[in-house]
Amino acid sequence: MKKKSLFLQILVTIMVLFFLAGSSYAGEIQNKLVSESTIEQVLKRGVLRVGMSTFVPWAMKDKKGELIGFEIDVAKKLAQDMGVKIEFVPTKWAGIIPALLTGKFDVIIGGMGITPQRSLKVNFTVPYEYSGMSIVAHKETAKGFSAIEDFNKPEVTIASRLGSTAAEAAKKYMPKANHRMFDDEAQAYQELLNGKAHAVVGSAPTPVFHAIKNPEKLFIPLKETFAKEAIGFAVRKGDFDTLNYFNSWILVHHSSGWLKEREHYWFETKDWESQVQ
Amino acid sequence: MKKKYNSADIGKFIFVIGIIVYFMNRSSGNMGYNWQWYRIPQYIFTFDSGRFIPGLLFKGLGVTLQITGISLILAFIFGLTTAFLRLSDSLIGRITSRLYLEIIRNTPLLVQLFFIYFVLGPILDLSRFTSAVLALSLFEGAYASEIFRAGIVSIHQGQWEASYSLGLNTFQTYFHVILPQAIRRILPPLTSQAISLIKDSALVSTIAIYDLTMQGQAIISETFLTFELWFTIAGIYLLITIPLSLSVNLMEKYFRVDI
């Protein structure tokens, strides 16, 4: 009997020791994760660095050279809520993910559509906005085209921006067409204006703006947008603290209606146009 | 003259290489980048039951070689013509060649490429390939012309006088006396120019020509294998430019033996 209780005592002591060691170890990891998370780094630094790419009306330069747009409002509000300053890091679209991965900035807020391929390299937040693709066509080369099937032919050339979700959507919805990709959207639209492409696929509402600007050459063949896509912030993989903070932030501003109100201002009104032209 | 190396030199060399390797290791460790080199070979070429299947990068390389090949020949012609015109007695020739040189040399190639493709293209009905070749050869031709001119004027005036007194005309003097001597002097800078042309050809990707660089960019946009692909592309450019440098080295030796 005595022997047994001694054995039990030792067993309990060992278990308690293991438990203590285990819990302190877990606590250490937790502390480490928190202190190394991007959000903690941002608070320490006092500056939130946001990677973005100019993209009307998501992010663009106004007459004074200041950045304005839907995304810029979102990033500014985010920094304001965190109580830090904001720094925008304009980056070429094709290099934006590698720049995030190598720590050139903390988060991509750049109208980036959530895709399975991209999710293999970065973590996305819940969507803060949805965008659709629209298509603008040339009046001569694409005369009478009115459906996606009209564009899905080998003799049709479709221009888009390299690496954008628009390029992916164009390939997916018009696999038979001839796709031509440019570094910048401006070049894709120039190609269309020169009549060397039948259409440009881009995130709404940019194609519509171009059609309005060049009514004698371009038209909108489809009334509705296609390939609705979810837009999220992108952060480095494995940083769940940061991801969680951003998710909560987006949730809060969805419920408060602030995101909806900004979306209405930038996408459905033209009140901001005087700031640009 | 044979150069000698002593052990101290070799020691320094190893030291420098060591530092470079150390920094590369450190930065790639800090980067937290997930390297996936195993996904690259399929883009160069693969073998399917003994049959050779070219990958996208291989096809891009074909386009790059085609563009640079034609542009090299054209740049050579533009360069030589401009050099002759600048040295000629014709006032118009001198003015036009000077104008061409200064405009091309003082503006960026990217702007010229966009201008030729997006502005001149629709007017003159130039295809995308023609625009690319034209922009590249005009650009490199301007630089080549200065190299040619420098080579020609570096030949002593007495050679001209001697040729004329032997009864040769200007064309014969150039062809038999001046150029054979000038070529030896201009080969090294001309090689640099040719290598520049091969690398500058990467800019044609901006007008959506699917050369090596553009194919790489397109693959990156789908797979995000950014660093793996850019290193592979750099390696392929090295594979073309190094043999070019080496063959010109051989040519230089050959011309030296000749005199």
Nearest alpha carbon to residue A267 among A114, A131, A167: A131
Contact at CB, A194 and B118, closer than 8 angstroms:
yes
3-state secondary structure of B47: strand
Is pLDDT at B257 greater than 80 in this prediction?
A: no
Give just the sign of the alpha carbon dihedral A182, A111, A70, A234.
negative
What is the model's pLDDT at position A34?
79
B-chain residues near A191 (CB < 8 A): 118, 208
A-chain residues near B226 (CB < 8 A): 95, 97-98
Give the tens place of pLDDT for each residue, A201-225: 988 888 888 888 888 999 988 888 8
CA end-to-end span of chain A, whole Å? 93
Is pLDDT at A179 greater than 70 in this prediction?
A: yes
Give the tens place of pLDDT for each residue, B208-248: 899 999 999 888 888 878 888 999 999 999 999 999 889 88
Residue type, B199: K
Is pLDDT at B10 greater than 80 in this prediction?
A: yes
Is pLDDT at B102 greater than 70 in this prediction?
A: yes
What are phi and psi for residue B125, nearest 5 degrees?
60, 50
Contact at CB, A162 and B217, closer than 8 angstroms:
yes
pLDDT, mean of residues A2-7: 70
The answer to whether A103 and A235 are in contact (CB under 8 A) is no
Res. B40 pLDDT band, cuts 50 70 90: confident
Check CB contact of B160 with chain A, cutoff 8 Å.
no
Length of chain A: 277
What is the model's pLDDT at position A186?
87
Is pLDDT at A10 greater than 90 in this prediction?
A: no
3-state secondary structure of A57: coil
pLDDT, mean of residues A22-26: 67
What is the model's pLDDT at position A233?
94
Is pLDDT at A135 greater than 70 in this prediction?
A: yes
What is the model's pLDDT at position B64?
94
In angstroms, the CA B231 to CA B228 distance is: 5
What are phi and psi for residue A106, nearest 5 degrees?
-90, -30
**Higher-pLDDT residue of B225, B33:** B225
In angstroms, the CA A190 to CA A177 distance is: 19
Rama region for B255: left / alpha / beta (φ>0; ψ in -120 to 50; rest):
alpha
Task: Give the B window 92-151 contacts with A, CB below 8 Å.
Answer: 114, 118, 121-122, 128
In angstroms, the CA A188 to CA B158 distance is: 58
Lowest mean pLDDT among A25-29, A51-55, A220-224, B90-94: A25-29
Lowest mean pLDDT among A267-271, B43-47, B180-184: A267-271
pLDDT, mean of residues B13-17: 90
What is the model's pLDDT at position B80?
92
Give the tens place of pLDDT for each residue, A58-93: 888 888 888 899 999 999 999 999 999 999 999 888
Contact at CB, B206 and A98, closer than 8 angstroms:
no
A-chain residues near B227 (CB < 8 A): 98
Res. B46 pLDDT band, cuts 50 70 90: confident
What are phi and psi for residue B48, nearest 5 degrees?
-110, 110
The answer to whether A171 and A148 are in contact (CB under 8 A) is no
What is the model's pLDDT at position A64?
86
Is pLDDT at B103 greater than 90 in this prediction?
A: yes
What is the model's pLDDT at position B259?
47
